[in-house]
Amino acid sequence: MIRIERRLTESRWLVAAVPAGSLVAAAILSGLILLVTGHDPVATWSRLLDRGFFAPGAMSATLVTATPLLLTGLAAAAAFRMQTWNIGAEGQLYLGAVGASGIGIALRDQSPFLVIPAMILAGIVTGAAWAAIPGVLRAYTRTNEIITSLMLNYVAGLLMSYLIFDSHSYWRDLSTFTARVFPQGKYLPDAASWPNFPLGGIAIPLGFVLGMIAAAVLWVIYTATRFGFEARVIGDSRAAAHYAGIRTRRKIVAVMALSGALAGIGGASEIGDFRHVLDPRGLQQASFGYAGIVVAALARLNPFAVIVVAILLGGLSNAGFSLQGATFPAGLVGTLQGLILFCALAGELLVHYRIRFARRAGAAPPAPVPARAEIA
């Protein structure tokens, strides 16, 4: 009989050893699959690392992919820390993109020093407003925020499609005949293109810099401010928070808005750093919002770890694209990526739980400690 039991204590040793073990397990499993499908595992791995991180330009490309993952990862971490389950970073990112692109188009002839901050602000405001909807519903009508925030993702996706495909909206390009037949968004002016910061041959996008600042701010909020303290008390026990005179409902709305604002910056950076046009299909295919939940979970909701995990996942995803080819089908790439994620998440389970093998009947079986042993 196999039992899964919660660990009473989580040792520091495990926190370091388990990710390493997960990596080894992922290597073995993916190696087997590569061998079976007739590929050289070592060559594949080195190509993976090369394309993801070490080849010229690879790191810069990885950071572009990592930027939205970083911001949606922070969005998830901000909410999850208070045990508020915002699954809506996806939709909040779309709304951030809608807001930022709208402002970028509107401020067509202005200086970048005005346009870019305005785009960031628009992303923050629209993302926060979108997240505040499930926040208000949660706080004042006790609606489950998981469901409402998830459903609003579809609404946000449809809203973007409507703006570009199903209407003559402000965002849609109607200047040429082809654009009228094949709908697409208006491209943003050059002044709305966000700058890069070169660092030793790597171009760091502005969005990524904002993400790193946001990570530091989030860390300070949660460790050193009254706001963060209240959020942590609420996350730990609603009853204790009420008892301590904390205004739980306002705080839920505020944290949801904070979470949405972070995702909204992610949407703005997608426009400013990368796409320069509101692109409903591209954004929906990328699914950065959902990936952000994985990022936050792997980072154990630590904002600084979110930075690292976002870069790793960004690299993995980019390398995947370049591995694909005639001899290397896309499905195999997805399998490899899935295996690595699976091993990482399974390892995470091992930090919290242990697996015991116990025989049901036997002469002297080791007595299992029951899950959550009560020490009388």
Partner 1 sequence: MRGITKRFPGVLANDQVDFEALPGEVHALLGENGAGKSTLSNILTGLYRPDEGEMLLYGKPATFHAPRDAIDAGVGMVHQHFRLAASFTVAENLVLGHRDAADRGLLLEPRVVEGRIAELSRRYRMPVNPRARIWQLSVGEQQRVEILKVLYRGARILILDEPTSQLTPQEADDLFQTLRLMAAEQRTIIFISHKLEEVMAVSNRVTVLRRGKVIGTVMTGDTNTGELARMMVGRDVVFTQKKQGPAQAERQVALELRQVSATGDLGTPALHNVNLTVHAGEIVGVAGVAGNGQHELAEVVTGMRRRTSGQVIVTGRPARGSNPLEAIRRGIAYVPDDRLGTGVAPSLSVAENLVLKAFRRPPISTQGFLHPRRIRANAVELMRRFNIAASSPQTPARQLSGGNIQKVLLARELSSHPRVLVACSPTSGLDVGATDTVRGLLLEAARDGVGILLISEDLDEILALADRIAVLYGGRITGIVERQHAEVEQLGLMMAGAATK
Tell me how many residues contact partner 1 (CB under 8 A): 30
CB of residue 245 to partner 1, shortest distance in Å: 3
Q: Distance between terminal CA atoms of the chain?
A: 27
Q: Which residue has the tokens 């499993």?
A: 29
What 8-state DSSP symbol labels residue 191? G
What is d(CA 309, CA 313) in angstroms, rounded to the nearest whole number? 6
Among 8, 28, 106, 199, binds partner 1 (CB under 8 A): 8
Closer residue to partner 1 (CB): 108 or 242: 242
CB 159 within 8 A of CB 94: yes
- If one asks whether residue 373 binds partner 1 (CB under 8 A), the answer comes out as yes
- For residue 62, count other CB atoms closer than 10 A to its CB: 24
Stretch that binds partner 1, among 157-165, 201-209, 331-339, 362-370 (CB under 8 A): 362-370
What is d(CA 269, CA 78) in angstroms, rounded to the nearest whole number? 19
CB of residue 360 to partner 1, shortest distance in Å: 7
Which residues in the 218-247 window bind partner 1 by CB under 8 A?
224-227, 229, 232-233, 236-237, 239-247
Q: Site mask, partner 1, residues 307-346, x = CB under 8 A?
A: ----------------------------------------
Backbone angles phi, psi at 12, to 5 degrees: -65, -35
Tokens encoding 86:
């915002």
CB of residue 237 to partner 1, shortest distance in Å: 5
CB of residue 225 to partner 1, shortest distance in Å: 6
Helix pair 89-106, 112-141: axis angle to 10 deg: 150
- If one asks whether residue 374 binds partner 1 (CB under 8 A), the answer comes out as yes
Largest Cα–Cα distance in the chain? 84
- If one asks whether residue 2 binds partner 1 (CB under 8 A), the answer comes out as no
CB of residue 219 to partner 1, shortest distance in Å: 13
Q: Nearest Cα to 89, choosing from 128, 143, 137? A: 128
What is the binding site for partner 1 (CB under 8 A)?
A: 8-9, 224-227, 229, 232-233, 236-237, 239-247, 360-361, 367-370, 373-376
